[in-house]
Amino acid sequence: MLIKNVLKDKLKDALAPISSLNFVWSIEIPKQKGHGDYATNVCFQLARELKKSPKLIAETLCTDLNKQFEEEFTFEPINGFININLTENFVWTLSKNVLEKSFPKSTSNTLIEFVSANPTGPLHIGHGRWAVVGSTMVNIYKYVGKNVSSEFYINDAGVQINNLLASVKAAKDGTPIPENGYHGDYIHDLAKTNENPIEYHINQHKSVLNAINTSFDTWYPESNLHKANDVPKALDYLKSNNFTFELEKALWFNTTKFGDDKDRVLVKNDGNYTYFAVDIAYHKNKLDRKFTHLINILGADHHGYVHRMKAAISALNENATIDLKIGQLVNLFRDGTPVRMSKRTGDIITLQEVTDEIGSDAVRYFLSEKSLDSSIDFDLEAAKLKNSENPVYYIQYAHARICSIFRKHGVDNYKEQPSFDSLDPTEKAVLLYCLQFNDMIWELAQNLETHRLNTYLLTLARQFHTFYEKCPILKSEESLKLKRLYILMVVQNVFKTSLNLLGISAPEVM
Partner RNA sequence: GCGCCCGUAGCUCAGUUGGAUAGAGCAACGGACUUCUAAUCCGUAGGUCAGACGUUCGAAUCGUCUCGGGCGCACCA
Residues 11-40, interacting with RNA (CB under 7 A): 26, 28-32, 34-36, 39
Window 404-423: residues binding RNA (CB under 7 A): 404-405, 408
CB 300, CB 312: distance < 8 Å? no
- CA proximity to 151, closest of 185, 119, 121, 115: 115
Strands 293-299, 321-327: pairing is parallel
Residue 410 CB, nearest distance to RNA (Å)? 12
Q: Does 469 bind RNA (CB under 7 A)?
A: yes
Smallest distance from RNA to CB 305, Å? 6
Q: Distance between CA 36 and CA 75 in Å, rounded?
A: 9
Instruction: Please report, as residue ranges, which positions from 226 to 255 form the binding site for RNA (by CB under 7 A).
Output: 247-250
Least Cβ distance, residue 44 to RNA (angstroms): 4
> What are the backbone dihedrals phi and psi of residue 455, each rounded to the nearest 5 degrees, phi first?
-60, -40
Q: Is 287 in the site for RNA (CB under 7 A)?
A: no
Tell which residue, 93, 101, 143, has the closest CA to residue 431.
Answer: 93
By CB under 7 A, what part of segment 116-155 binds RNA?
Answer: 118, 155
In 44-59, which positions are buried (b, 16+ CB within 10 angstroms) versus exposed (e)?
Answer: bbbbeeeeeebbebbb
Name which position in 88, 230, 260, 369 contacts RNA (CB under 7 A). 369
Is there binding between residue 259 and RNA (CB under 7 A)? no
In this structure, the strands spanning 250-253 and 264-267 are antiparallel
Task: Give the N- to C-terminal CA distance of the chain in Å, as an integer.
Answer: 32
CB of 194 to RNA, least distance (A): 25
> Which 3 state secondary structure label does DSSP give 154?
strand
Q: Which of residues 426-465 bind RNA (CB under 7 A)?
A: 443, 446-447, 449, 451-452, 455, 458-459, 461-462, 465
Residue of 393, 433, 442, 486 that binds RNA (CB under 7 A): 393
Q: Of 419, 422, 429, 436, which Cα lies nearest the Cα of 467?
A: 429
Minimum separation from the CB atom of position 40 to RNA (A): 8
Rule CB under 7 A: choose which of 71, 173, 318, 389 binds RNA. Answer: 389
- Taking residues 34 to 73 in sequence order and writing x for each that binds RNA by CB under 7 A, - otherwise, the string is xxx--x-x--xx--------x-------------------
Complex with RNA: residue 196 or 476, whichever CB lies closer: 476
CB of 485 to RNA, least distance (A): 10
Query: For residues 102 and 108, is the Cβ–Cβ distance under 8 A?
Result: no
Among positions 309-348, residues that touch RNA (CB under 7 A) are 326, 328-329
Alpha helices, DSSP H, located in 369-450: 380-384, 391-409, 425-435, 437-447
Q: Rounded to whole angstroms, how far apart are CA atoms 250 and 480?
A: 78
Name the residue among 423, 412, 436 with its Cα closest to residue 470: 423
Own/partner pairs for 22-27, CB < 8 Å, 24+ apart?
A: 23/49, 27/84
DSSP secondary-structure letter at 350?
B
* Contact residue for RNA among 9, 199, 356, 373 (CB under 7 A): 373
Selected binder of RNA within 275, 340, 344, 345 (CB under 7 A):
275
172-211 mask for RNA (x: CB under 7 A)?
----------------------------------------
Residue from 209, 376, 432, 487 that binds RNA (CB under 7 A)?
A: 376
Euclidean distance between CA atoms 402 and 7, whole angstroms: 31
With contacts defined by CB under 7 A, name the span among 14-22, 87-95, 410-418, 471-479 that binds RNA.
471-479
The amino acid sitting at 178 is P
Q: Which stretch binds RNA (CB under 7 A): 8-16, 211-219, 234-242, 389-397?
A: 389-397
CB of 192 to RNA, least distance (A): 26
Taking CB under 7 A as the criterion, the residue among 232, 359, 391, 418 binding RNA is: 391
Instruction: Give yes or no for residue 400 binding RNA (CB under 7 A).
Output: yes
Q: Is 254 exposed, middle or buried (0-12, 13-18, 19+ CB in 10 A)?
A: middle
Interface residue with RNA among 145, 259, 425, 472 (CB under 7 A) is 472
Q: Which of 66, 272, 342, 413 binds RNA (CB under 7 A)?
A: 272
Q: What is the DSSP letter of 157?
A: S
Q: Does 158 bind RNA (CB under 7 A)?
A: yes
- Smallest distance, RNA to C-beta of residue 455, A: 4
